[in-house]
Structure 1
Amino acid sequence: MGEEETVRLIQKYRHDLMNRLQIVSGYLSMGSADKAKYHLDNTLQFYEEERKLMRLNADTFIIWVLQFQDVYPSFTLTYHVDLLESAETSINEQKLLLTCEKLLAVLSEAAEEFHVYDLFLYIEERESDWIIRMNIKDIAVENASAIEQRYGISVTIEKEQTSFEWSIAKDERGE
């Protein structure tokens, strides 16, 4: 990542934080303490999730997440990271990133133009491996069995939601 791209990412990050704080400030100035508290709690929860994301020690993946909206404008990303209490955590970020990018290519191909889809990414650390789940509503991918075979992941399609699940063994983390 070059200097200009790094500065642009920091500016975007700062802009997002300022927007969140201005919403809280606006509600406080209107005397709506309950709404201000609600938005402040959401902001704190967002940055707590980000803190857990940073603990993955997967810099390239973290940058991918931070740049997600610019790269994939048809999708909004919400993520949740569930870590064990161990002090040091690490994941095979190449495997995680490559699988996410491949799935986004499949989803982008299936997406309708001018429609924004909510994408949820869940990363769970377990004793011997990591479980990664990606859920998206309103897209039912075709050829789920081909995707399963090609990428080694489980695909579940229920009603109007597609779920992907795969694991990354801890001994694959490349430490």
Structure 2
Amino acid sequence: MATEWNVLNLLRHSRHDWLNHLQLINGYLSMGRVDKVEKLVEDIVNKAKNESHISHLKMDKVAEKLLTFNWGDHSFRISFEVITNESDWSQVEDTVYPFWRCYFNY
């Protein structure tokens, strides 16, 4: 079942994710595991860059699904990496989006 996202729901989920990251960082720091903190920060930065890239490809419906999928109750998680120099994928969105809806039922 697809979730209807509104601003408050989006902010709530985003805040929850950030709080989880901050709690992990705090926990690693309290254990003196600076190496773990550095790796976690690197992962967070890479994730944010990929989220930014997908948000700028002009495939808004696909980007919304990718960015919010892991907030739902699913039996698997999705991670992605954007590797392209193209900035406009709007011409393929009508092909990609139905695929997403069909195979991921979301």
Same fold (TM over 0.5): yes
Gaps of at least 5 residues in structure 2 are none
Structure 2 match to 1:95? 95
More helix by share: 2
Which of 1 and 2 has greater Rg? 1
- The answer on whether the counterparts of 1:52 and 1:83 sit within 8 Å (CA) in structure 2 is no
**1:6-155 to 2 correspondence within 5 Å?**
6-71=7-72, 73-84=74-85, 88-91=87-90, 92-105=92-105
User: Which protein has the bigger strand share?
Assistant: 1
AA matched with 2:75: S
Q: Which amino acid aligns with 2:93?
A: E
How far 1:41 sits from its partner (Å)? 0.9
C-alpha distance in 2 between matches for 1:78 and 1:44: 14
Q: 1:29 Cα deviation (Å)? A: 2.6
* Cα separation, partners in 2 of 1:15 and 1:72, compared to 1, 3 Å: closer
Aligned residues: 103
**Structure 2: distance between partners of 1:94 and 1:13:** 27
Contact 2:51/2:67 (<8 A) preserved: no
TM-score by length of 2: 0.79
Q: Secondary structure at the match of 2:82?
A: strand
TM-score, normalised to structure 1's length?
Answer: 0.51
Cα separation, 2, equivalents of 1:27 and 1:70: 24
- Residue 62 of structure 1: how far off its partner (Å): 1.6
CA 1:72–1:30 in structure 2 vs 1: closer, same or farther (change >3 Å)? Answer: closer
* Deviates further, 23-32 or 41-50: 23-32
Q: Deviation at 1:103? A: 2.0
Cα RMSD (Å) = 2.5
The alpha carbon displacement at 1:104 in A equals 2.1
Higher RCO (C-alpha under 8 Å, 6+ residues apart): 2
CA distance in 2, matches of 1:6, 1:49: 21
